[in-house]
Amino acid sequence: MEDKTDKIISFAKRRGFIFPSSEIYGGFSSCYDFGPLGVELKNNIKKAWWNEMTKMKDNIFGLDSSILMSPKIWQASGHLTAGFADELVECKECHHRFRKDFLEKNKCPDCGGELTDPKKFNLMMKTFIGPLEDEAAITYLRAETCQGIYVNFKNVLQTMRAKIPFGIAQIGKAFRNEITPKNFIYRMREFEQMEMQWFCNPKDADKFFDFWKKERMNWYLSLGIDEKKLRATETPKEELAHYARKAVDIEYKFPFGWKEIEGIHNRGDWDLSNHSKHSSEDLSYHDDETDKKYYPYVIETSVGVDRSLFAFLTDAFTEVEGGRTKTTESKKSVETVLKLHKSLAPVKVAVLPLVKNKPKIVDLAKKVYDQLKVEFATIYDETGSIGRRYRRLDEIGALFAITIDFDSLEDNTVTVRDRDTMGQERVEIKKLINYIKEK
Ligand code: ATP
């Protein structure tokens, strides 16, 4: 039986969600392109996160910092030195390379050969700025978006007249030279992060850590993730990243096992104090009430856009044996429904003229389409039988299908079909927008 991950990979390509990068040149490992439906889904995930973090929460400010930054930032953050390296081992027989911490036994998982001693392998991606490829011009593609937040801590504090506790949120690309990229978009070398850094008084750090852990778990549940497939796991002390005092992974149960989709970290004063030491800027906070200065502690919530998209896609991907629409073609086959949450579904409404060779029906369908597209992500589809169109729409998770038929010309009503219940209702055209909004 085909593994669910393989099914999702081929589905994602077939229906225009995710394509392998540089495919016509034979592909480019660990990079992916998001197709027409993938980019909509991705944008909806980012919108849901941005709304939740910057609009629904008080005291969180947005930021969009640059990807290329002074290399001094990566020196100060410890990424070039202390922590940001994985241990790499190589098989002496087949020369395949692996991350040591991912191996269950001390031999090659591919051929059983003997492994070399581990070597530290830094994950930062190097690049050159300016015309000379010499040492002075080396910089790095950011490996996490949060460093751009720390170096702007003072700018945001002052310009927004912020008071502790407050947060800064950012969405953007990050790059890591992963040793073993695998599991489709789970581990990539170019990916996108949604990170929020919450600056607080050290004495409140534990309280806020618990608060943000709960908030972030609830975000996934509010977007329809199956409760049984979501859990929070605390990282043992000896496995903590170089900057972390405490860490919890929010994990999703993928077909290939429980895997991290988001990290909640108490980073203490690691970042602000190190940037103060390495730059000439004092990034401590002056508390007006107590007239004391201190480095705020940082509680970080860090999620990959792509990884969470993979979780949402996996959770929504449902196959119905024997078909659900019960058309003659479908009875024997398996039908797919993408049960994405309504705010994530890339297409909300589809407008379908019953037939495409009756100008009056087509004209009315186009009129309805023009009205709806202003309000919702709407598509127009006139090819194939209605049953076949319904199935195509179920596959991409479209919430409502609206059919314009001969009766519509007489009484100005249309049939609205609901993706989840497959129930059909006749609705007056002039009431359509409100009907869909209410649903
Ligand atoms: P892992 O242990 O899987 O390498 P990590 O603990 O290094 O991940 P963090 O540095 O905490 O990850 O990054 C925060 C989030 O960014 C992760 O939870 C994940 O969603 C996302 N992320 C990190 N690395 C990648 C990657 N290579 N590809 C896709 N998403 C990633």
State mean pLDDT over 115-120.
Answer: 79
pLDDT level of residue 331 (50, 70, 90 thresholds): low
Q: Whose CA is nearest to atom 20 of ligand 1?
A: 304
Q: How far is the CA of 179 from the centre of ligand 1 (A)?
A: 13
The minimum-distance atom of ligand 1 relative to the CA of 249 is 18
Percent of the chain predicted with pLDDT > 90: 77
**pLDDT tens column, 48-74:** 999 999 999 999 999 999 999 999 999
Q: How far is the CA of 206 from the centre of ligand 1 (A)?
A: 23
Q: Whose CA is nearest to atom 5 of ligand 1?
A: 263
pLDDT level of residue 164 (50, 70, 90 thresholds): very high
Q: How far is the CA of 304 from the centre of ligand 1 (A)?
A: 7
State mean pLDDT over 34-46.
Answer: 98
Q: How far is the CA of 258 from the centre of ligand 1 (A)?
A: 14
Q: Whose CA is nearest to atom 21 of ligand 1?
A: 304
Mutate to test the pocket of ligand 1, among 177, 191, 231 (most ligand atoms within 8 A of CB): 191
State mean pLDDT over 326-341.
Answer: 78
Instruction: Return the pLDDT at 94.
Output: 82
What is the per-residue DSSP string for 303-318?
EEHHHHHHHHHHHHEE
pTM of the model: 0.92
State mean pLDDT over 78-106.
Answer: 78
Mutate to test the pocket of ligand 1, among 187, 264, 301 (most ligand atoms within 8 A of CB): 187
Percent of the chain predicted with pLDDT > 70: 97
- Cα 339 to Cα 350: distance, rounded to the nearest angstrom: 16
Q: How far is the CA of 262 from the centre of ligand 1 (A)?
A: 7
Instruction: Return the pLDDT at 328.
Output: 57
Q: Whose CA is nearest to atom 6 of ligand 1?
A: 263
* Strand bridging mode 349-353 / 297-304: unpaired
State mean pLDDT over 241-268.
Answer: 95
Q: Whose CA is nearest to atom 22 of ligand 1?
A: 304
Q: How far is the CA of 79 from the centre of ligand 1 (A)?
A: 15
Q: Hey, CA dihedral for 396, 225, 45, 243, is it positive or negative?
A: negative
The three-class DSSP label of residue 351 is: strand
HSE-up of residue 175 (Cα within 13 Å, Cβ side) = 12
Q: How far is the CA of 277 from the centre of ligand 1 (A)?
A: 27
State mean pLDDT over 326-330.
Answer: 57
* Strand bridging mode 349-353 / 400-404: parallel
The answer to whether 273 and 295 have CB atoms below 8 angstroms apart is yes
Q: Whose CA is nearest to atom 7 of ligand 1?
A: 241
Mutate to test the pocket of ligand 1, among 260, 303, 306 (most ligand atoms within 8 A of CB): 260
- Cα 209 to Cα 155: distance, rounded to the nearest angstrom: 24
State mean pLDDT over 325-344.
Answer: 80
The minimum-distance atom of ligand 1 relative to the CA of 302 is 14
Question: Look-up: residue for tokens 């001969």?
Answer: 406
Residues 277-285: contacts with CB within 8 Å, 24+ apart?
277/76, 278/72, 278/75, 278/76, 279/72, 279/76, 279/151, 281/154, 283/150, 283/153, 283/154, 285/157, 285/164, 285/199
**pLDDT tens column, 119-157:** 777 889 999 888 877 767 889 999 999 999 999 999 999
With 90 as the cut, is the pLDDT of residue 311 above it?
Answer: yes
Pocket of ligand 1 (CB under 6 A): 144, 176, 178, 187-188, 191, 193, 260-263, 302-304, 306-307
Print the SS3 string covering 112-143: CCCECCCEEEECCEEEECCCCCCHHHEEEECC
pLDDT level of residue 1 (50, 70, 90 thresholds): very low
Q: How far is the CA of 438 from the centre of ligand 1 (A)?
A: 38
**pLDDT tens column, 420-433:** 999 999 999 999 99
Q: Whose CA is nearest to atom 16 of ligand 1?
A: 304
Q: How far is the CA of 293 from the centre of ligand 1 (A)?
A: 33
Q: How far is the CA of 365 from the centre of ligand 1 (A)?
A: 46
Q: Whose CA is nearest to atom 2 of ligand 1?
A: 260
Q: How far is the CA of 191 from the centre of ligand 1 (A)?
A: 9
- Cα 76 to Cα 271: distance, rounded to the nearest angstrom: 8
First-to-last alpha carbon distance for the chain, in angstroms, is 38
Q: Whose CA is nearest to atom 19 of ligand 1?
A: 304
Output the average pLDDT for the chain: 92
For residue 36, say if its preceding peptide bond is cis, omega within 30 degrees of 0: no
Measure the CA angle with vertex 238, ends 237 and 244; round to 5°: 55
